[in-house]
Every structure is written in structure tokens, then in C-alpha cells.
Amino acid sequence: MFDRTLATVNLWKKMLGDVPDWVWERSDAEVLILADNGLEEVSERIGEMHGLVTLDLGHNRLTAVPESLGELSGLSKFLYLHDNQLTGLPDSLGNFKSLRYLNLSENAFVELPACVCEMGSLTELRVTDNAIAALPESVGNLTQLRELHLRNNRLTGLPMSIGALTELRQIDLRGNPIAALPEDLLRLPKLEKIDLRWVDVRGFAAVLDQLEGQGCVVYS
């Protein structure tokens, strides 16, 4: 039996189908794990859990998350939404000004939700295995980002604003139909690795040569 006195509510892989009401009453909880439960929706009552700093809703069947999720402005460590059926996110999630890690991988996004580019404290963003064809220029707002994982999307390039991500260490572009890369990548002083495996790099080899000359490891 789960100890309800803990600050962590861990209901991982219980195949709940629906979340019990007592969960939403745990206003003291700092960590809520609801991964692998076959969930098709999450109650608006999740917005009552104001103490949360980490939330895991991964490996479910969600097609949407509630607007009230944005009321969890204290969410600062991890938000896992990977392996669902999401096509968008509510604008209210732009309230996550202190969130550091966001995983949106394995969903059905065709564009990066606008609210993500308002999460200015993100240090790691994972959006692999979606259908995103382009990143917005507003991605340049994520100036604290250190890792950007974009494997297996439909990207043909990157916006010029990528040059504003001066804390970026790693960028994963594997399996995208990249046709060009901006020279703005050369403005990233801390870039250590760019992964372009399964990408035809012949059209922008000169940029990659310059990156390697600056000490960045290029995988291609």
C-alpha cells in the first residue's frame, strides 16, 4: 500500500485508467508520478496541487492536458509528457518560468507549442519523434538551454535565432531532412556536440567544418 504521508505520490505503472480523487487532495505533494497508467485525460483538479515541482504524465494516451496545469507555477524540476498523443499544449503552460526539464517526445506535434518558448529557465528540451517541420524564431528566448533534442522530426533547417542560445552544449538533429544550417550556430561558444547522423550534410559541410574548428564534435 502506498504511504500517502510522503511528499512523493508514485503511482507508476498501476494501470489506473482514471486517477483516484484522493490524489488531487495531496496539496503537500512535491512529486507526482502517473506514468504508464493508460490515462486518456487528467482532471482539472491537478491545478490544486500547488506544491508540485516534478510531474510525470508520460507513457499514457493523453490527447490534451488541462488548462489548469498552468496554475502549477512552482513546477521547477521535471515535466514529462512523452509517449502520449498530444498535438498541442494550453497557453497557460507559459507560466512555467522556473521549469528546467521538459520532455515532449513521442507525441503528434507538428509545431513547437508557443508556450514552450516562454519557459525561459529550461536547460533541457526533448521533442524527439514528432512531426515538427520548423522551429519558431521565439526558440531564441530559451537562453538557458543546454541540451536540445530534436531527433526524428521533419526539420529542414534551424531559425537564425538559434544563435541566441549561448548556453547550448548539445543539439541532436538525427533523422531530420535538414537541407541547410545557419551560420548563427558558429555564435554558440559552449556548443560541444551536434548530432547529424542519418542526415545528408553535403549542403552545409562548410558550416560543420567551421564548427569542428571551434572544438565542436560533429557526428554525421
Q: Is 125 within a domain?
A: yes
pLDDT score recorded for residue 21: 95
Number of domains in the chain: 1
Q: Which residue has the cell 526533448?
A: 126
Q: Is 39 within a domain?
A: yes
| Residue range 154-177, pLDDT digits in tens | 999 999 999 999 999 999 999 999
CB 65 within 8 A of CB 88: no
Q: Is 103 within a domain?
A: yes
Q: Is 128 within a domain?
A: yes
Q: Is 2 within a domain?
A: no
The answer to whether residue 194 scores a pLDDT higher than 90 is yes
Q: Is 1 within a domain?
A: no
Q: Is 66 within a domain?
A: yes
> Which band of pLDDT confidence, cut at 50, 70 and 90, is reported for residue 79?
very high
Amino acid at 219: Y
**Beta carbons within 10 angstroms of residue 193's beta carbon:** 14
Q: Which residue has the cell 522551429?
A: 135
Structural domain boundaries enclosing 20: 8-219
Kindly report the CATH number assigned to the domain that includes residue 185: 3.80.10.10
| Residue range 144-154, pLDDT digits in tens | 999 999 999 99
Please provide the distance, in angstroms rounded to a whole number, between the alpha carbons at the two ends of the chain: 50
pTM over 0.75: yes
Q: Is 27 within a domain?
A: yes
Helices (H), the chain: 21-24, 205-213
- Tell me what the pLDDT averaged over the chain comes to: 96
> Which band of pLDDT confidence, cut at 50, 70 and 90, is reported for residue 2?
very low
For the chain, where are the E strands, in sequence order?
8-10, 31-33, 54-56, 78-80, 101-103, 124-126, 147-149, 170-172, 193-195, 217-219
